[in-house]
Structures are given as structure tokens and as C-alpha cells.
Amino acid sequence: MAKSSENLQDDSGQTFWDHLDVLRGVLLRILAVTLLFTVVAFCFKDEVFAVVLAPKSPDFILYRLLADVASRLGMSGAEWFDVSLINTGLAQQFMIHMKTAFCVGLIVASPYILHQLFGFVSPALYDKERKYSLRLLIGGYIMFLLGVAISYFIIFPLTFRFLGTYQVSAEVTNLISLESYMSVLIMLCLFMGIMCELPVLAYIATKAGIIDSGFLKRYRRHAILVILVVCAIITPTSDAFTLLIVSLPIWLLYEASILISRSASGRNARHVSPQSSEQ
């Protein structure tokens, strides 16, 4: 007679419902910690929005760096710019404050979230699989944060400065809404964070024998076309400048994926060769 789901046990002696209780506890702890950091971020409104709104300031670090490089090369620096943000809805600023606080809370709590999720999954893995998965998890997390940093410090400021100061006529003044500013910032940061996972995915796929560096080289032109199409669809704006600014780092990530895939293929060959020589 087949056992019911209540009586099914794994190697640790836990039933399906025991695992479900553990998962519920993990999710509750994640929710509690995320809400805690969200409330803290909500209370520190001035500090949070000083960081969020920094790229709109002409004194932002990227603009100062570009001006310094231009002066060292004997070139005239970029013109001073001033773009004002406006609010167009009665409750819009409050809602944006809440959404921003939640995003900050989620980012701050993300190491704890990953720790809890990995702690739930890891007992089902072998020691070698656990170490391998942990390295991939840490690598993927670092690459995601790198993508967010690239977007915040480079891509978004250049996009905002170009589009915020672009005018078809001197008679038309740019007044950017806060909602538009935040949506572009979040979209670009999220998009670049996901795109920075390309080297990690290339490593995993190469280790699994799905692709190799030759495959990535052979379809390089196709990949560039796909990158341009995806960037044109995903990016919040439809101008060529933003398309190029976003596409360039992704193309560089694709080239890095080729190098990583080649390295992973070499390691696979070194692991296989001793076994084949013994046979």
C-alpha cells in the first residue's frame, strides 16, 4: 500500500508537512526582516532620497570625474545643467516614498534573505554541491550588485543628463516628474543587475555541457542583435543614446562570458583527462 503524503519521510526523518513548516518559518523571518528595514528606510527619508536623487545633481561624482578628465586633457568641461523634478499627483510623493523605502529595505535585507533560502535548500545537497552552489550564489549576488552600481553611477546619470537637458526649442522647458525619474532609475538598475548575471549563467551552462566558448563566438553577431532588440524593448526611453549606453556594458559582459566559458571548458577538460587516461 502506498504511503500517504503525511507519512512520507526523507533521510532526516522529516515529513512533507515538516518541510512546509520550516519553509513557512523561513518566509515569515524574511518578511519580518524586510519590513523592519523598510520601516527604518522610511524613517530616514532625507538620507535615502539624498542618495536616490544624487544623479540629478551637477555635482554628482561622475560629472565631477568627467569634468576633471576634460580639464586634464585641455578640453572644455560640460556645461552646467539644472533639471527640476516636479510632482503631479496628490498622493504620489507619499506612494513613491513607500515604494522607495521598500526597495531599500529589500536590498539591505537581501543578504539575510539569501542566507535563509540557502539554509532551507542546502540540507538536500551533498557537501560538494553545497560548496559549489554557495560559490555560485555569492558570485551571482555580487554580479547583480555590480550591475546596479554600474547603472546608478554611470548609465542612469548619463541618460538623465542627456534627456533632461535635451530641448527641441529654447521655448520648451524640461520639467521631469518624480515618478518618471524613479521609474527610469529602478528599471535601469534592475535591468543591468539581471544582465550582469550573464557571466554566471555562461559558467553554469558550460559546466553543464550545454554551451562552450566556441558556441558563444559563433553566435556573437546574433547575440549583439538580440542585445540591441532587448535593450530597445526594456529600456524606459526610446532614444538611441540610452540604447547605446545600456547596450555597451551588456556587450562587454557577453565578451566576458566567452572568456569565462573558455576557462570553465579548460577546467572540465582537466578533470576529464585523468579519468580517460586511466581507462
Segment 60-119, tens digit of pLDDT:
998 888 888 878 877 765 667 788 899 988 999 999 999 999 999 999 999 999 999 998
Residue 215, classified by CB atoms within 10 Å of its CB into exposed (0-12), middle (13-18) or buried (19+), is middle
Rg of the Cα trace of the chain? 24
User: What distance in Å separates the CA atoms of residue 174 and residue 128, rounded to the nearest whole number?
Assistant: 57
Collapsing DSSP to helix, strand or coil, 210 comes out as: coil
pLDDT tens-place string over residues 2-48: 445 455 555 556 677 777 888 899 999 999 999 999 999 999 999 99
- pLDDT at residue 50 greater than cutoff 90: yes
Q: What are the start-end ranges of the E strands in 124-239?
A: 175-177
Q: Which of 99-108, 121-130, 176-185 has the lowest mean pLDDT?
A: 121-130
Which whole number is the average pLDDT over 211-218?
88
